[in-house]
Structure 1
Amino acid sequence: MTGMKMALASAEDMEAAYELCGLLDSISRGYYPAADDDENAPTWFEEDKFEHLQALFKRIEKLADSSGGIHRVVGGFSTVANPANGLIDLTQDVIELHPRLVAALEAVETLAQIRAALAFQQRVQPWMLECFGAEIAADKFERNHRFFEEATEAVQANGMTRSEAHQLVDYAFNRPIGELHQEVGGVMVTLAALCLASGIDMHAAGETELARIGVPETVAKIRAKQATKPKHSPLPEALP
């Protein structure tokens, strides 16, 4: 079922409405309703003078030609402010979105972020299978080592020292083992916080890297490096 629609006010309609407001404001302050091109108009309005009343009538008569536009301005806001439509928050002194719309927009943004994250994770899998095959791609210990390597390189690039890294490794491994799902969530939150502090768009960085390592030449290099990787070692390559 489709309800009645209100015509949208144009820029000319808005200009006419503002002109009417300006005229009413001038009269309320006692000023003469001078036209824009009336350079010799008096300053003050005298209601007992015929020529003053005539000038006021001409201004009103001119605005009457735009009455339809003014109706569209007033009617448009009446539609927006109608409580049944739930468009703006009528408890505020300024125009703000209705709390229901604010909540809906936040939910949409959250859903978009979740979908983007899932899409990225799912797009990494084909690359993993192409590079390493199913067995190595699903090897949790290998994935631990490579994640730790990349995380270490990231904080190193962001200014962390070797001493700080060793202190934090000792600190973390001296604590009780956490729950993986919660710890992954902590990784995501702290990575986002690190990127915010460092002026990095984490999503853009991820997309750039996925595109870089997906190039056939890069895939070949990664495969060759994996083939020479020391067996039963967390290191990605043999040390000299």
Structure 2
Amino acid sequence: MAKPSELDIDAAGDLITLLGDLSRGYYPWERHEEDGPSYFDPDDHKHLRRLYDSLETLFDRAPGFPMRVIGGMCYVICYDKNQILDPADDCLELHPDLKAGLKLLKAHRANFIPSLEQAARAAVAETIEAAAARHLAEMQIPVQA
């Protein structure tokens, strides 16, 4: 899933505003005239045309934004199998496993690279010693202690 851009987020915010106004029955655009409509009339062709044009402008401004913003939230962030959010919490709270991982990372961050380097050096040394012993055995040269 592609991460939404700032333009995508802005377009989604405008869509939320538009849909919120419509859901309350309001004419969702600023009134430029004193006698302009206050309420949306779904039977009025001019209102429907304005709604269509507004939606088309949003989709032209940020093509594909609903999938990145809404789809990303629904199918990535909120998808239980991804274990990003806490399934027991009604709010957007991190999954307990993520919280535990972040706590562990914080506790071990300072020693992480040195420990990784030490483990890598030990693995390389062990591999070299094993290869040298194997080659000596293959050449039938006795190993001196």
1:45 to 2:40 alignment: yes
AA matched with 1:95: L
The sequence identity of aligned pairs, in percent, is 36
1:14: how far off?
A: 0.7
Could you tell me how far 1:110 is from its partner in structure 2? Answer: 2.4
Decide whether the 8 Å contact of 2:59 with 2:65 is kept in 1: no
Q: Size of the alignment, in residue pairs?
A: 108
Within 5 Å, give how 1:49-88 maps onto structure 2. Answer: 49-65=44-60, 66-77=62-73, 78-88=75-85
- SS state at 1:9 partner: coil
Residue 10 of structure 1: CA displacement?
0.4
Task: Kindly indicate whether structure 1 or structure 2 has the higher relative contact order, using CA contacts under 8 Å at least 6 residues apart.
Answer: 2
Please show how residues 1-240 of structure 1 align to structure 2 within 5 Å: 6-34=1-29, 39-40=32-33, 41-65=36-60, 66-77=62-73, 78-112=75-109, 115=111
Alignment RMSD: 2.2
Query: How far, CA to CA, are the matches of 2:81 and 2:106 in structure 1?
Result: 25
3-state SS of paired residue (2:13): helix
Q: Give the TM-score taking structure 2 as reference length.
A: 0.65
Residues 11, 65 of structure 2: 8 Å contact kept? yes
Q: Deviations over 1:154-186 (max 9, x none)?
A: xxxxxxxxxxxxxxxxxxxxxxxxxxxxxxxxx
Paired position in structure 1 for 2:141: none
CA distance in 2, matches of 1:112, 1:46: 59
Contact 1:14/1:70 (<8 A) preserved: no
Q: CA deviation at 1:50?
A: 1.9
